[in-house]
Chains A and B, each alone.
Chain A
Amino acid sequence: NAGVTQTPKFQVLKTGQSMTLQCAQDMNHNSMYWYRQDPGMGLRLIYYSASEGTTDKGEVPNGYNVSRLNKREFSLRLESAAPSQTSVYFCASSDPSGTEKGRWHFGDGTRLSIL
């Protein structure tokens, strides 16, 4: 099993450009999440999807949109990138009702720099 796969691993953008970060999981998990990690700030929740067809805002949703394309895939879109969005973005998945209840799986992140 690949677990949670994020693409791309690195990206440099100019202010105002748009891009979509991709995330896919192969564990048949219902719930998926997007976090950003900044030095001294820890992991902060951007958006999450408790199940296919639903999405909810987290702590820092401004400037982002998400799409739960199907059960496997959850993408994060920056419509007009700003330098404040320079960060490492992590996607995660979990299965609240399954045998691994409570255990989360993370991808290895997308390192995004906005100039």
Chain B
Amino acid sequence: SQKIEQNSEALNIQEGKTATLTCNYTNYSPAYLQWYRQDPGRGPVFLLLIRENEKEKRKERLKVTFDTTLKQSLFHITASQPADSATYLCARSNSGNTPLVFGKGTRLSVIA
């Protein structure tokens, strides 16, 4: 079966540093990898999507990479702020028509 693994359950970093979250997948490469942010008591909110043929995507302070050799996606938040504290979810999809398979998430805490 297709799996998505986010190895770190929690990550604490100092304000201003770059947070790097890891997402590993098994079996064949997904067509898409997506990253979502989830705050307590709220539903996930879409952040970034990267396709299999893309190496890197950026949006403001966010950057995501897709390495098909390592079967891994890295999610970076530069110049992190306490407001970035949340749980971040990685998800894979084999096409636009298939449901997302989610990792368990990484809870990020940015300490002032």
A residues near B, CB below 8 A?
A: 4, 31, 33, 35, 40-45, 48, 50, 58, 90, 92, 94, 96-97, 101-109
Contacts and interface: CB of A to CB of B under 8 A. Distances in A.
For the complex of A and B, 3 pairs with smallest distance between CB atoms: A106-B43, A96-B96, A42-B104
Contacts of A41: 104
Given A4-B43, A103-B46, A108-B42, A42 B105 contact: yes
Nearest to A33: B99
Majority secondary structure of chain B interface residues (helix, strand, loop or mixed): loop
A42 B93 contact: no
Contacts of A105: 46
B102 A90 contact: no
A32 to B, nearest CB: 10
Interface in B27-67: 32, 34, 36, 41-46, 49
16 contacts: A43-B44, A43-B102, A45-B100, A58-B99, A90-B44, A92-B43, A94-B96, A102-B96, A103-B46, A103-B49, A104-B44, A105-B46, A106-B36, A108-B42, A108-B43, A109-B41
A106 B99 CA distance: 13
B43 A48 contact: no
B32 A102 contact: yes
Contact of A102 (B43, B45, B93, B101): B93
Nearest to B4: A42
Contact of B43 (A58, A97, A109): A109
Nearest to B46: A103
A68 B45 CA distance: 23
A45 B91 CA distance: 12
B97 interface: yes
A50 B97 contact: yes
A19 to B, nearest CB: 20
A45 B42 CA distance: 18
Nearest to A48: B99
Contacts of A103: 34, 46, 49
B108 interface: no
Given A4-B43, A90-B43, A107-B43, A101 B96 contact: yes
